[in-house]
Amino acid sequence: MFNPHRVYEQVGQWLQRTYIPTQKQDMTITFASSACSNLETLHYIPAQYAVGDGWVYSGYEQAACDLITPITLFQDKKAGRFIGALRFMFAHPDTNETFEVLLVSTWNEHHNDLVMVCFPTKYATHWITFEDECERIQSTGMAYQREVFVIGGVHRSLKTTITLDDIHLPPDLKTSIINDVDSFFEKGATIYQELNLKPFRKILLAGVPGTGKTMLCSALANRALKKGLFVIYVSGSSIAGSEFWKIHRALEVASNSDKATIVLVEELDTYMHEETRAQMLNVLDGSETPMNPHGTMLIATTNYPEKIDNRVMKRPGRLDRIFIIPEMTSEADAEKMLRQYLGKAWRDEYREIVPELLNRPGAFIREVALYALTIAAYQHSNELTLEILEESLDSLIGQIEAKENFLSNRRDREMGLVVQGNGRRRRQNNANGNNH
């Protein structure tokens, strides 16, 4: 039934009354992807883009439409979606023929994007080829490929400046991770294809909080961008949270990319919901998504590998490698890190506290250093003394122990056990050094 309040009816009527009579051929009206009305996306379609049978795209211009006020929407400081009418021109260089497609973009009564087009019926497939390219460019975040493309986050892209040199890990581990990534993209993707397998590799970085997993992802992303790869970051930060569709979408976008692609998923365990478990397994198998022939590598992190389904963890092929990112295991690394975070304030006597930094995550060492620098500044002290550094260390250890006691006391109380004393154990100083 004709309903004059429906926006698509109004646009349709307008096209029929004012536009189609000006065209002397059989015309078709249909809906189109809003990617075709995005100026940023259109910017990435090259002039003379071939749409089939020798026809090429020859540009677009704004067209008059008295139904809609022309409005340009901006996103991340770039002109994005255009509301109003656009005329797309196509030409056939051999025959000098031309045709045009009129697009009207607006919102419907439910505030959803509404994009309608009107083209000569005989050129339908040429228009659809063009529309598909707009969609591909939009979905692969072409405009954002020099930065990390974000799916499911508050921003569309993010920059990263962290390098692998900033991260202190056992050297063998760091090398193995880098080699895994490099060898897959340099050789592996081709081998997978020769074996008729989907070029899809998945690695998991597992470890307790604060060991540098997020930092490692940022550094790998930074390195990949410099090598010309496409990097997608799946973010749990939008209102939807850690939902399976974000990973699925990221892999779809990866499959559309014309570059080798890294997909980063942090806290993979939080995406393991009962309702979408089966789909997740299929996605990790690669059976649910088409694959990018240049290769897709999924790099995931977790604090809780045990929360990830056994069918993912134990079945070969769902996660290809698991790297355990440890707490500080060597004094040399712990010292390097302390030096890094203390910067110019470093003094050799601080080495005394280094043994106490072992078996602690990197984030702990960073906090010891930053807190000590803050106390020194607060006390207007010109130099950071060993005592201040120890005070910072003590306070952090005390805080961690207090939290552990609080949690274990609560657990005991919940189980009906009476707790004697608080069991708190402070770090002791003695003349020979520190015990803990």
Ligand X SMILES: Nc1ncnc2c1ncn2[C@@H]1O[C@H](COP(=O)(O)OP(=O)(O)OP(=O)(O)O)[C@@H](O)[C@H]1O
Spell out the residues 6+ positions from residue 276 whose beta carbon is closer than 8 angstroms to its own: 243, 244
Q: Give the separation between CA 119 and CA 86, rounded to whole angstroms.
A: 12
Whether the Cβ atoms of residue 56 and residue 96 lie closer than 8 Å to each other: no
219 binds, among ligand X, Mg ion, none (CB under 5 to 8 A by kind): none
358 binds, among Mg ion, ligand X, none (CB under 5 to 8 A by kind): none
The residue ranges that bind ligand X (CB under 6 A) are 167-169, 207, 209-215, 303, 337, 361-363, 366
Residues binding Mg ion: number (CB under 5 A)? 2
Question: Residues for the chain: how many in total?
Answer: 436
Residue nearest to ligand X (CB): 362
Q: Which is nearer to ligand X, 243 or 267 (CB)?
A: 267
Residue nearest to Mg ion (CB): 214
State in angstroms the smallest separation of the CB of 215 from ligand X: 4
Residues numbered 208 to 247 that lie near Mg ion (CB under 5 A) are: 213-214
167 binds, among Mg ion, ligand X, none (CB under 5 to 8 A by kind): ligand X
State in angstroms the smallest separation of the CB of 327 from ligand X: 9
Spell out the residues 6+ positions from residue 235 whose beta carbon is closer than 8 angstroms to its own: 150, 151, 152, 153, 154, 246, 266
In three-state form (DSSP H/G/I as H, E/B as E, the rest C), the secondary structure along 364-395 is: HHHHHHHHHHHHHHHCCCCCCCHHHHHHHHHH
- Here the tokens at position 399 are 């805080």
215 binds, among ligand X, Mg ion, none (CB under 5 to 8 A by kind): ligand X
Q: What's the chain's Rg over C-alpha atoms?
A: 29
State in angstroms the smallest separation of the CB of 221 from ligand X: 13
State in angstroms the smallest separation of the CB of 215 from Mg ion: 8
93 binds, among Mg ion, ligand X, none (CB under 5 to 8 A by kind): none
Q: Give the separation between CA 208 and CA 63, rounded to whole angstroms.
A: 58
Residue with tokens 């919901």: 273
State in angstroms the smallest separation of the CB of 348 from Mg ion: 32
Residue with tokens 């025959």: 95
Q: Which is nearer to ligand X, 39 or 178 (CB)?
A: 178
Q: Which is nearer to Mg ion, 254 or 264 (CB)?
A: 264
Contact residues: Mg ion, CB under 5 A: 213-214
